[in-house]
Amino acid sequence: KAWADNGWPAEPDDSGSGITAPFNAPSQGPPPWNVYRIEPRSAIVTLGTEPGGLTRFRF
Non-local (6+) Cβ contacts of 55 within 8 A are: 44, 45, 47
Confidence of residue 57 (pLDDT cuts 50, 70, 90): very high
Residue 55: what pLDDT?
Answer: 93
- CA 58, distance to chain mean position in Å, is 20
Residue 58: what pLDDT?
Answer: 96
- Residue 41 belongs to what domain range? 2-58
Residue 54: what pLDDT?
Answer: 93
- CA 44, distance to chain mean position in Å, is 19
Q: How far apart are CA 32 and CA 15, in angstroms?
A: 9
- What total of structural domains would you count in the chain? 1
